[in-house]
């Protein structure tokens, strides 16, 4: 953080007279994370705010948010910053807290008279929990504070949806534009992943300890009446149609969270395998090497490893990869689910 720019624009005036010392203290404290918010104008970076997380609790996976924007009447030459810019900056802080730092709950206490901050928090879907008497000391006097909070599972623009089927559920992680990951979970088993588990509990398909309820539980029917990010909802609909044998291909915008260039080439090639068709690792290696058998033989193991790391099963149909001798080979959802999917596509039967 550039202390001179922050000091010039008087962004941290509410909390310190010594900006360099404040910044050094923040950087040396593992329980505090601060960031600057900037705009690019005329190819120059224009600072317009400082935001951060404080009082991080590893046990509770919680933190308090702070945001400081300059008073335009005091700060002189400032970029043209709208409420939308400030809201976007705070939303970025929430995404960082929930999905990079795996924080479960973010809270913020503001003066009850701070209407501008309240608009930002409400625009970011934070909910007011309480008004605390004389909780803040501002301008030489105590004032009441409005306590706002948001849970990771309540964040509306990036979440996890679930689609039940005979052998379990498919978890779909993404936002309004793209799907980043799909995973399988079995009925009666714990849901893995902080966000996946928290959303499963909030939607009622898992108990308070994060164990999925049994097949046929009424909570699964309610999933399609709930609100999820747009692309997650679209993926839920298409996967449900797939399991009902009303769809054989997908139109989902998917982008894996990770993957080397080679892995992505493998996943792209696997994605060309049609519904109801199977190929072997050797077949995929041959496709990638233009039919060079020697090169393909050397590549087969790497192809298998890439399929094992596929973050988008079903959408990238690695379940259609079988052994050269026709045997079922590894699958992230387990061989029982793989067998079910292959039979579902090839023969239209559901194995018990």
pLDDT at 14: 75
- Read off the pLDDT of residues 128-143 as tens digits, 9 standing for 90 and up: 999 999 999 988 899 9
Instruction: Report the SS3 class of residue 150.
Output: strand
pLDDT at 179: 97
pLDDT at 26: 83
As a whole-number percent, the residues of the chain with pLDDT over 70 amount to 93
Residue 330 φ then ψ, to 5°: -45, 145
Which residues carry out catalysis? 318
pLDDT at 218: 94
Of residues 49 and 326, the one with the higher pLDDT is 49
Tell me the C-alpha distance between 113 and 193, whole Å.
39
Of residues 276 and 47, the one with the higher pLDDT is 276
- Read off the pLDDT of residues 62-89 as tens digits, 9 standing for 90 and up: 999 999 987 654 444 555 667 888 999 9
- Read off the pLDDT of residues 268-323 as tens digits, 9 standing for 90 and up: 999 999 999 999 999 999 999 888 888 888 888 899 899 999 999 999 999 999 88
As a whole-number percent, the residues of the chain with pLDDT over 90 amount to 68
User: Is pLDDT of 352 > 50?
Assistant: no
Which residues partner with 106 through β-bridges? 63, 150
Residue 40 tokens read as 């690019």
User: Is pLDDT of 9 > 80?
Assistant: no
User: b/e string for 194-227 if b means 16 or more Cβ within 10 A?
Assistant: bbbbbbbbebebbeeebbbbeeeeeebeebeeee
Residue 219 tokens read as 């909570």
The domains of the chain, with CATH numbers, are 3-154 (3.40.630.30), 156-255 (no CATH), 259-352 (1.10.10.10)
Confidence band, pLDDT 50/70/90 cuts, at residue 52: very high
CA angle 141, 147, 150 (to 5 degrees): 150
Q: Are strands 62-68 and 44-57 parallel, antiparallel or unpaired?
A: antiparallel
Confidence band, pLDDT 50/70/90 cuts, at residue 197: very high
pLDDT at 18: 80
pLDDT at 62: 96
**DSSP assignment letter at 228:** -
pLDDT at 74: 41
Tell me the C-alpha distance between 113 and 126, whole Å.
17
Confidence band, pLDDT 50/70/90 cuts, at residue 157: very high
Distance of CA 250 to the CA centre of its chain: 21
Tell me the C-alpha distance between 325 and 24, whole Å.
63
| Mean pLDDT within 161-175 | 96
Which residues partner with 142 through β-bridges? 137
């Amino acid at each position: 953080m550039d202390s001179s720019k922050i000091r010039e624009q008087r962004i941290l005036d509410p909390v310190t007279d010594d900006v360099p010392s404040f910044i050094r203290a923040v950087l040396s404290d593992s329980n505090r994370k601060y960031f600057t918010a900037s705009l690019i104008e005329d190819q120059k970076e224009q600072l317009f705010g400082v935001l951060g997380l404080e009082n991080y609790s590893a046990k509770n996976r919680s933190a308090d948010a702070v945001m400081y924007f300059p008073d335009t009447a005091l700060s002189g030459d400032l970029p043209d910053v709208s409420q939308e810019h400030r809201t976007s900056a705070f939303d970025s802080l929430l995404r960082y807290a929930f999905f990079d730092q795996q924080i479960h709950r973010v809270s913020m206490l503001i003066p009850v008279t701070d209407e501008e901050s309240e608009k930002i928090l409400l625009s970011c879907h934070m909910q007011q929990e309480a008004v605390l008497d004389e909780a803040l000391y501002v301008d030489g006097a105590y004032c009441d504070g409005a306590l706002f909070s948001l849970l990771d599972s309540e964040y509306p623009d990036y979440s996890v949806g679930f689609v039940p089927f005979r052998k379990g559920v498919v978890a779909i992680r993404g936002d309004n534009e793209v799907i980043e990951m799909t995973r399988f979970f079995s009925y009666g088993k714990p849901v893995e992943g902080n966000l996946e588990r928290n959303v499963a509990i909030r939607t009622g398909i898992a108990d308070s300890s994060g164990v999925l309820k049994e097949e046929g539980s009424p909570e699964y029917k309610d999933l399609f009446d709930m609100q999820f990010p747009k692309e997650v909802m679209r993926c839920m609909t298409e996967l449900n149609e797939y399991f009902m044998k009303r769809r054989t291909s997908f139109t989902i915008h998917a982008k894996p969270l990770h993957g080397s260039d080679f892995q992505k080439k493998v996943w792209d090639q696997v994605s060309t395998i049609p519904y109801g068709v199977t190929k072997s690792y050797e077949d995929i290696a041959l496709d990638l090497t233009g039919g060079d058998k020697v090169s393909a033989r050397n590549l087969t193991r790497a192809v298998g490893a890439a399929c094992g790391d596929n973050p988008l099963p079903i959408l990238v149909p690695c379940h259609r990869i079988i052994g050269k001798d026709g045997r079922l080979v590894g699958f992230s959802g387990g061989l029982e689910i793989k067998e079910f999917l292959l039979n579902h596509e090839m023969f239209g039967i559901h194995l018990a």
